[in-house]
Amino acid sequence: MHVLEQLAPRHTIVITMRGRGQSDSPVSGYRLEDHVRDIDAVIRHLELEQFILMGYSRGVSYQLSYAVQHPERIQGLIIGDYPAVHTQLPPGWVDFFASLPPWRGKTLYERMTVEAVQALQRESSKVELWDELPKLECPVLIIHGVKPHPGLSLEAVEQYKRVLPHAIVVAFEEHDHNLFEPDVDTFVRTADSFMNEISNSNHNSSTTNTKGVRTWII
Tell me what the mean pLDDT of segment 178-202 comes to.
90
According to the model, what pLDDT value does residue 92 have? 92
Tell me what the mean pLDDT of segment 29-36 comes to.
97
* Residue 205 vs residue 145, higher pLDDT: 145
* Residue 6 vs residue 172, higher pLDDT: 172
Q: Answer yes or no: is pLDDT of 9 > 50.
A: yes
Summary mean pLDDT of the chain: 89
According to the model, what pLDDT value does residue 208 have? 36
CA distances from 11 to 7, 180, 195, 213 (A): 8, 20, 12, 9
CA 137 – CA 135 distance, rounded (Å):
6
Tell me what the mean pLDDT of segment 108-123 comes to.
92
Candidate ranges 8-12, 73-77, 94-98; pick with highest mean pLDDT: 73-77
In degrees, to the nearest 5, what angle opens at C-alpha 110 toward C-alphas 105 and 66? 95
Spatial contact of 71 and 64, defined as CB atoms under 8 Å apart: no
Spatial contact of 189 and 180, defined as CB atoms under 8 Å apart: no
